[in-house]
Structure 1
Amino acid sequence: MAEDHKPSEEPEKRESFDPSRFYSAAFKPLMDSYANWAADLSKQLSGTASVRFKVPRVTFVPPVVPANPVAEMLGRQLADLTNFNSVIRQAMEPLNQYYRDQWQGIFASLVELRRQVLPENLRDAAPNLKALETLLIDEGIPLMWVPGPKTVRALLDASDTAARRRVIGQRWRGIANDCTAILEGIDHPGLQDSRRFGLDVVRALRDGHTSAAQALAANLLDSLLHRHFDKASRLQLTKNEFKTKGVKFNLDDYKIRVALTFAPVWCAHARYFPTDGDPIPRVFGRHPSAHGVSRAQYTRINAVYGLMLVVSVLKFFDLEMSRR
């Protein structure tokens, strides 16, 4: 009797190596990290989250493979395979294109966000965090909407505080023109009186009445803050205790447009109490403009600082206030 024929066992199926799946799994965490960062930055720039000037640092370190005779042998065998590298390149090209398109999309979206949020005078300059902190917080130089892009570039290229004040002193006429252009574009109905006073500051400055220009700018700034902020918000933005407590304005505490507009306003509210024997500062300040009238405080350069501050704040309100 013939033996029953037993069907031969099917050979074990082995899953073929899929390079695209391997690299997708390997690089997915990295791409997810940057995608999340881009989404977070999008919220910050669009004004839905507090500003954050921190970019994740991701360093890819390839694994170290210890010397191994078997591994070396396999390596030599693989190297002998004809067209092996070209096959791998062809297999990986769709994946490379996929990630290349993702990167391009991320950076294109960031460029568009920068265009929407940053005023035109800052888009090409793209100052870094250190430069922003120096000019806005330490020196109180407004950068939002005014001055124009060429003056912004000159300020960023200047070597120190004295050089930047010289830039403002030398370019005051051009800065006055920049401020006029912004003021003429402010069309919110609730800001028209303030806009006209801003133009009065420009006229006084151009006519050589620098003291009058500075006094009006300082008082107009104070009026705007009282008119459009409640007391708690106003104090938060202007309470400058750096001299007594060493605490600076923190850009991370505010949405990006608020941070960049009101950091120099905070600087202009540096502590000054003549009753305490404080010396009259030579840089523009709201308090010494009111309580320390002198040749030290009242200068054409300080009048230009005051004008730029008023124009920046007016433009901020023009964009942010409801028009209903």
Structure 2
Amino acid sequence: MTFVDPSAGRHQVPLRELESWGLAWDSYDPAVHGELPIPAFYPAARVANWWGCTLSLDDLLDLAQVHGIPVAWVPDRALLRTLAAAGDHDDKVAVLVAAESKIRVLCSDRLDECTNEWVSGEVEAGRKALAAWSDGHHEAAACLALAGLEQILYRITWAKPRSHAELRRIGAEKPNGYLPARQHALAPLATLYAKYYPENGDPMPDNLSRHAVLHHLPLDHLSPGNCIIAVMLFVSIIRQYHEHAEEIRQDMIAQAAD
């Protein structure tokens, strides 16, 4: 069975065709079609780690928006497939814990790609979180990741500082069909910023909760799985921030050339 890249031979990206191109790209299965390079226009509508994962945008959104598990930039396509096939939330978190060493390497690789000087401080913080994780200090890594994450979110979403409800709303938005990558990167915010007021009798969230960690610090919530998700999300958003910074840089270069 042959896979046909709809963008092959094209030299421009027509926005109106990106959605259909994306659906065709999503059908690529390396087990069926063999290993193929990522099409040149694929990053315009997708994220590199989705290539060959065989999951639909809805499958990816379910992992991110319902379970709070990052899907943009990390993990790799094999782990994405395994996560989607796992049963309930606990089963999916167990997949992450079993792949802890692999995920840590993937996170380090993604930080290596963040060469824009505008994100250098965040990259350093990401490396320190990975170092703490590597040394066995999962809780410290998660707390650093969540603290560092928030300042980036206000830069790339334009939400007002301390507008946690706004970040939750942004995470819950439905992505468009032709440029879904950014929304999928932000989708874990839907559960990360879910309301949690223990003084009102709210139960401890199953998903990683920013409010639980930074305001109440229940150590049982900082399980190995939730700590892995925290660092993954930090790295995912740093990598997305790098893309954002590079787009601004290219716009500035284009304007200077006019």
Q: Normalising by structure 1, what TM-score?
A: 0.60
SS at match of 2:207: coil
User: Which residue, out of 185, 209, 212, partners 2:137?
Assistant: 209
Q: Residue 309 of structure 1 aligns with which residue?
A: 233
Supply the RMSD in Å over aligned alpha carbons: 3.1
1:279 aligned residue (199, 203, 225): 203
Selected match of 2:222 from 298, 304, 318? 298
Equivalent runs, 1:1-324 vs 2, <5 Å = 41-43=16-18, 113-114=41-42, 116-231=44-159, 238-240=167-169, 248-252=172-176, 255-321=179-245, 322-323=248-249, 324=252
The one of the two structures with greater contact order (alpha-carbon pairs below 8 A, sep at least 6) is 2
Within 1, Cα distance between the matches of 2:130 and 2:242? 19
Cα-to-partner distance string for 1:179-217 (whole Å, 9 max, x where unaligned): 000001101111101100001111111111111011011
Aligned pair in 2 of structure 1 residues 206, 145: CA closer, same or farther (>3 Å)?
A: same
Say if 2:191 and 2:207, in contact at 8 Å, map to a contact too.
no
- How many angstroms does 1:235 deviate by? 6.0
1:113 offset after TM fit, Å?
A: 3.9
Count how many residue pairs are aligned between Structure 1 and Structure 2: 221
| Deviation per residue, 1:115-141 (Å, 9 max, x gap) | 553222211013124412321111011
Partner of 1:88: none
Percent of aligned pairs with the same amino acid: 22
Q: Which runs of 5+ in 1 are unaligned?
A: 1-37, 47-51, 54-110, 243-247
Deviates more, 1:217-226 or 1:194-203: 217-226
TM-score by length of 2: 0.75
Query: In the aligned structure 2, how far is the partner of 1:275 from the partner of 1:254?
Result: 43
The one-letter code of the counterpart of 1:250 is K
SS at match of 2:188: helix
Q: Is the 8 Å Cα contact of residues 159 and 167 (structure 2) preserved in structure 1?
A: no
In structure 2, C-alpha distance between the alignment counterparts of 1:269 and 1:45, rounded to whole Å: 33
Deviation at 1:220, TM superposition (A): 0.8
Amino acid at match of 2:198: P
Deviation at 1:253, TM superposition (A): 9.3
For structure 2, list consecutive stretches of 5 or more residues without a partner in the other structure: 1-12, 24-38, 253-258
**C-alpha contact (below 8 Å) 1:141/1:305 kept by paired residues:** yes
Amino acid in structure 2 at the alignment position of 1:42: E
Amino acid at match of 2:17: S
Measure the CA separation in 2 of the matches of 1:237 and 1:182. Answer: 27
2:54–2:81: 8 Å Cα contact kept in structure 1? no
**What SS does the corresponding residue of 1:251 show, helix, strand or coil?**
coil
Per the TM alignment, residue 287 of structure 1 is displaced from its structure 2 partner at its CA by: 1.2
Structure with the greater alpha carbon radius of gyration: 1
Return the alpha-carbon distance in structure 1 between the equivalents of residues 196 and 43 of structure 2: 38
